[in-house]
Structure 1
Amino acid sequence: MKIDATLHYALIFRDMTTEIEASKLVNRLAYEDSLTGIANRTYFIQELENALLEKRSIGVLLLDLNGFKQINDQFGHISGDEVLKTVAMLLTKSFPTPHFAARLGGDEFVVLLDGITRQSQLDESIGFIKTKEKNFSVLLGEQSVPVEFSVGGAYRENGDTIDELLMRADEQMYKEKYKDRPHERNSFN
């Protein structure tokens, strides 16, 4: 600014810490599962949509915990929450970046796998996580409780939509879940 024909400058400093922290909180609430700390359904769907638009070679693994209701009933919901957190940690450690795990809700999880171009790669990932499951347990109180899950997967085929890809993975997961009990698949017991 000019004052009496002399040019003066003014600098204004503003602490943006509060605004930056608020923005981080909004993003975390929008895209992170509040219980497990991993990505939530919203973030997963957004990333899956981007991967399909970019025509990346991807696969998805769907996981559903077996007997989770019984864990909640026997040990309580706080213990059930611990199981969910432990499964989230297992998936995150088992499938590091560029892959990522998300919680879809309830006791359902998904992993977005990068670089999957054929069924054998997908089968290898399913086999890998099923191997981890064999000795997977969570300490609830003083009792070590085995945690089992069903896994299904699908990889991107040309022209896939989000729904088609997830439906194929879901069908595979339910085939595994009910392979020994096919009559239970659609029962309401």
Structure 2
Amino acid sequence: MKPIEIKYKYGLIIALIILVFALLAFFEKGIKFYKLVAPDGTLLNWRFVLIIVVITSTIVWFIMNHLWKKEFENHQKTQYERDNYAELLKISENERLTDIITGVPNLQSLKKDIDIHFSKRKHKKKLQFILIDLKGFKKINNKYGFLKANKLLRTIAQTIYQKMRRNEDMYKYPMNIKNEKNEHFYRIHTGGDEFVFIIQGNQTDALGFANRLVKNDFSKLSTLTKEILGESIKLSFHCAIVEMDPRDEVEDILRKSDECYILAKEAKGDFSICWHPITIEQKLNKKWELAIYEETRELFDVMTINETDYE
């Protein structure tokens, strides 16, 4: 409940009324006023008590309202500061989870979402982990410079990101590299030309998504390179698809996709792909599902992975 905002002029009017009552007690009409409030010569009557109660209540109300007004203003200020801090924290968290070059969620967001996906997975819906690496993008960096290359990278990311469906998520993903001791570690800083997608559904859905990237997005993106780089070049990518197992840790999923990606990268075609497991296709009997695998083989150079490497 908000306190009543009392204007100074209203306070002066009330003070003036009280002053008039006080003056009446000392001037000619004071006697008549006294007889009115104390007709029997005593002040202990209902008229006088009523006047005292009204005056006292008015004064007390003004004091309490003034104190409540100060408290309310302090509360409003505290609430405003709290909301500002909450908004700043939200902005800071979004920035922490967003790649600054492409404007899409980054590796930290990916790890967070994988944990959420698996912690809330009480249903039997499958999840597919799709990794794509733009082919020959390092040459674009070297030839056209990082400013133009980053602009192209953002255009690619936003073109795909804005067309994502409700059951599809996209992330900017820095690939793992090896150090001198031949140990893996993951780069947290921005850079690179790799993206990850998490798709709800089976392997067929993931392959259908990869096919859409080739037919729709990358055919359009290749026409935009002249505007950004100054000349037209054909954009393509390597792709790895791994079915996510809720028993795996995040690093296990990243490792499996990396191993699958290494095979895809060995292919010589413009678009190459490798998926795991390879046994799912053998169990399919619907024509439209088999047609997606056929289309994938037409669009991609398919590399086969050894299933025993993942046991």
In the superposition, the TM-score normalised over structure 2's length comes to 0.51
Q: CA deviation at 1:53?
A: 2.4
Once residues 106 and 197 of structure 2 are traced to their aligned partners in structure 1, the CA distance between those partners, rounded to angstroms, is: 11
Is 1:110 the counterpart of 2:196? The answer is yes
Unmatched runs of 5 consecutive residues or more in structure 1: 182-189
Alignment of 1:37-76 (within 5 A): 37-55=103-121, 57-76=126-145
2:245 match: 157
Is 1:120 the counterpart of 2:120? The answer is no
2:156 touches 2:221 (CA, 8 Å); kept in 1?
no
Aligned-pair identity (%): 19
Once residues 91 and 76 of structure 1 are traced to their aligned partners in structure 2, the CA distance between those partners, rounded to angstroms, is: 23
Which has more helix, going by share of residues? 2
Once residues 157 and 36 of structure 1 are traced to their aligned partners in structure 2, the CA distance between those partners, rounded to angstroms, is: 28
Name the amino acid aligned to 1:108.
E
1:71 touches 1:80 (CA, 8 Å); kept in 2?
yes
Once residues 54 and 20 of structure 1 are traced to their aligned partners in structure 2, the CA distance between those partners, rounded to angstroms, is: 26
2:150 match: 81
Once residues 158 and 26 of structure 1 are traced to their aligned partners in structure 2, the CA distance between those partners, rounded to angstroms, is: 30
SS at match of 2:171: strand
SS at match of 2:100: coil
Which has more strand, going by share of residues? 1
Deviates more, 1:148-157 or 1:6-15: 6-15
1:133 match: 218
Once residues 263 and 211 of structure 2 are traced to their aligned partners in structure 1, the CA distance between those partners, rounded to angstroms, is: 15
SS at match of 2:173: strand
Once residues 76 and 51 of structure 1 are traced to their aligned partners in structure 2, the CA distance between those partners, rounded to angstroms, is: 38
Once residues 174 and 94 of structure 1 are traced to their aligned partners in structure 2, the CA distance between those partners, rounded to angstroms, is: 28
Residues 163 and 155 (structure 1 numbering): CA distance in 2 closer, same or farther, change over 3 Å? Answer: same
2:103 touches 2:158 (CA, 8 Å); kept in 1?
no
Q: CA deviation at 1:64?
A: 0.8
Unmatched runs of 5 consecutive residues or more in structure 2: 1-58, 175-191, 270-311
SS at match of 1:13: helix
Q: CA deviation at 1:158?
A: 5.1
RCO higher in 1 or 2 (8 Å CA, sep ≥ 6)? 1
Is 1:167 the counterpart of 2:255? The answer is yes
Once residues 268 and 150 of structure 2 are traced to their aligned partners in structure 1, the CA distance between those partners, rounded to angstroms, is: 28
Name the amino acid aligned to 2:169.
F
